[in-house]
Structure 1
Amino acid sequence: MDKDNVLKMNLRPSEKMTRVLIPIAAVGIILLFLAFNSIVIVQAGTRGIVLQLGAVQPLVLNEGLHFKIPFIQKVIPIDVRVGKAQSDQTAASRDLQIVTTTIAVNFHLVPDEVNKLYQNVGLAYDDRIVAPAIGEAVKAVTAQYTAEELISKRSEVSSKVKETLASKLSTYYMALDEINITEFKFSTEYNNAIEQKQIAEQNALKAKLDLQRIEVESQQTIERAKAEAESLRLQKQEVTQELIDLRRIETQMRAIEKWDGKLPSVTGGVTPFIDANSVK
């Protein structure tokens, strides 16, 4: 017998088992590793972009469990939920006033086309696409309105900015959800001019109201005078000799009711209004 056969015959059973199990365990580990790398889970609110040897594949993975070829394919998750971008944009109005617009934008990536976005733009789409598109849209729309119109026609301005921005984002496989123009800021000189204009308008309105009040009061005075004159005229027409005699008798009757029955102790040249000889 040769030397190798002698060694094999002298091996213990445990050693034989170890020599058999080690290759099996190694194969098992390799298989587990391959299985682990063959499974990919796409989380909620995301999509999976498949790269095969570096090339973007047309298939976009939806949420859930998927299989890929280990070491050949790679899956890159990308968020398709609604995102927010907010910025301050400075532009010139139609009347050449400098306006700083604070705008908040809500948008999301088109889920079925994220592979095209990744291929053409990459993951830095906020800085490369969204921010410049917001600036261009705000500048283009602001130039169509005067500074005063930007405030008085705020909803119309917002609609135009939304329409312009949606068109720009759709080119890069993004969808615009909503925009909110939170503030318009103007230069100090323009703000002072607006304040002076408002003061002038308030003074003019006050003067107008004062004039209207004076006119109303004058008209009321005239109407009262007319009413008094008409009343006097009617009273004059109704005065007759019988009415005069009746008023005199009524006056004397009231005086008699108030008299205490005593004659004045001192009399002047005026005859008392009651004949003393008639009193018994």
Structure 2
Amino acid sequence: MTTPFRNVTPNGPGGATTLLLVLSFTGFLLLTQALFVVPAGKVAVVTTLGKVSGRPRNPGLNFKVPFIQATYPFDVRTKVIPENFEALTKDLQVIEATATVKYAVRSSEAGRVFSTISYTDSEVYPRIIKPSLLKALKSVFSKYELVAIASNWSDISRIVEETVAKELDKFDYVDVQALDLTGLQIAEEYRAAIEQKQIAEQQLLRAQTEVKIAEQEALRYETLTQSLDDQVLFKLFLDKWDGKTQVVPALPGNKGGGNPVIVGGRGN
């Protein structure tokens, strides 16, 4: 009885071909497992048997040990996230606004974020940025009354940005590139009071400016008056004299001295 299968001996032509195919497939499999590409705007955290090893890999073609090392991409591009919030002022008034945060995960710290916080970059904002942001907002706004906040909104925004950046520097995971505060909402009755305060401050500033101008004018006239002595007046007279008008010197003993003149009628 004959069998439909051929016997393939290792030393025969068929055995060599099969071995070559197996080796080629194994080499291709190892190559595909060893090489990986990191897209632009991301880095890759490499783990060896579950433990973070080495620095994050930069964008481009990279190499890892097949079946032993694994890669996890982390987005390090700038993200812009608006956060609506409420806060109490020093005089216990509730304000509402929107804080728009621009931040990016530091590429060099992606491995540490992976080890201590989250396996994905999507958890960076809710677990790092947001708690520090809300803490800073409440801390800053609780130090000012509502009128001061509404009147100095740009200054308050700068203080909040500095406070948030300082708070996040403790973690050293992210770079806060900007923080914009917009959409301040307050009760209507307080808005009217704030507008009246601003009008009063503008009127006071205008009055102070007018007083300063008047003081400068008075000082200028005083300086001018003091500079008009007898010699200056006599020189001014000579500059304007037409040479025909009769003049008589001041009488001796006059308080004004010898320079002032008495203007008579015109000569013939």
Q: TM-score under structure 1 normalisation?
A: 0.62
Q: Once the 2 structures are TM-superposed, how far is the Cα of residue 171 of structure 1 from its aligned partner?
A: 2.9
Rounded to whole Å, the distance in 2 between the matches of 1:60 and 1:197 is 52
Question: In structure 2, do the counterparts of structure 1 residues 163 and 33 end up closer, same or farther at CA, with 3 Å as the change threshold?
Answer: same
Rounded to whole Å, the distance in 2 between the matches of 1:197 and 1:12 is 96
The question of 1:141 aligning with 2:140 is answered yes
Identity fraction in percent? 24
1:43 matched to which residue of 2? 39
Pair member with larger Rg: 1
Rounded to whole Å, the distance in 2 between the matches of 1:155 and 1:32 is 61
Rounded to whole Å, the distance in 2 between the matches of 1:71 and 1:12 is 32
The question of 1:52 aligning with 2:48 is answered yes
1:181 matched to which residue of 2? 181
Rounded to whole Å, the distance in 2 between the matches of 1:115 and 1:11 is 55
1:211 matched to which residue of 2? none
Code of the residue aligned with 1:168 in structure 2: it is E
Rounded to whole Å, the distance in 1 between the matches of 2:83 and 2:60 is 35
Deviation digits for residues 32-57 of structure 1, max 9, x if unmatched?
01001101111111111111100011
The question of 1:115 aligning with 2:114 is answered no
Query: What secondary structure is seen at the aligned counterpart in 1 of 2:53?
Result: strand
The question of 1:195 aligning with 2:192 is answered yes
The question of 1:68 aligning with 2:64 is answered yes
Deviation digits for residues 106-157 of structure 1, max 9, x if unmatched?
0011111111111111121121111112111111111111111112111211
Query: How do 1:222-261 and structure 2 match up within 5 A?
Result: none
Query: What secondary structure is seen at the aligned counterpart in 1 of 2:54?
Result: strand
Q: Which moved more, 1:103-112 or 1:58-67?
A: 58-67
Query: What secondary structure is seen at the aligned counterpart in 2 of 1:70?
Result: coil
Question: In structure 2, do the counterparts of structure 1 residues 80 and 23 end up closer, same or farther at CA, with 3 Å as the change threshold?
Answer: same
2:207 matched to which residue of 1? none
1:103 matched to which residue of 2? 99
User: Is the CA contact 2:151–2:198 (under 8 Å) kept in the aligned structure 1?
Assistant: no
Q: Once the 2 structures are TM-superposed, how far is the Cα of residue 26 of structure 1 from its aligned partner?
A: 1.6
Rounded to whole Å, the distance in 1 between the matches of 2:111 and 2:8 is 59
Question: In structure 2, do the counterparts of structure 1 residues 59 and 85 end up closer, same or farther at CA, with 3 Å as the change threshold?
Answer: same
Rounded to whole Å, the distance in 2 between the matches of 1:200 and 1:51 is 61
Question: In structure 2, do the counterparts of structure 1 residues 121 and 19 end up closer, same or farther at CA, with 3 Å as the change threshold?
Answer: same
Code of the residue aligned with 1:56 in structure 2: it is V
Rounded to whole Å, the distance in 2 between the matches of 1:160 and 1:201 is 21
Rounded to whole Å, the distance in 2 between the matches of 1:197 and 1:53 is 62
Rounded to whole Å, the distance in 2 between the matches of 1:146 and 1:104 is 23
Code of the residue aligned with 1:146 in structure 2: it is E
Q: Once the 2 structures are TM-superposed, how far is the Cα of residue 192 of structure 1 from its aligned partner?
A: 2.2
More helix by share: 1
Give the counterpart of 1:78 among 64, 74, 81: 74
Question: In structure 2, do the counterparts of structure 1 residues 79 and 69 end up closer, same or farther at CA, with 3 Å as the change threshold?
Answer: same
2:158 matched to which residue of 1? 159
Q: Number of aligned residue pairs: give it.
A: 193
4+ runs deviating over 3 angstroms:
10-13, 16-19, 196-203
Q: Structure 1: which 5+ residue stretches go unaligned? A: 1-6, 206-280
2:266 matched to which residue of 1? none
Query: What secondary structure is seen at the aligned counterpart in 2 of 1:37?
Result: helix
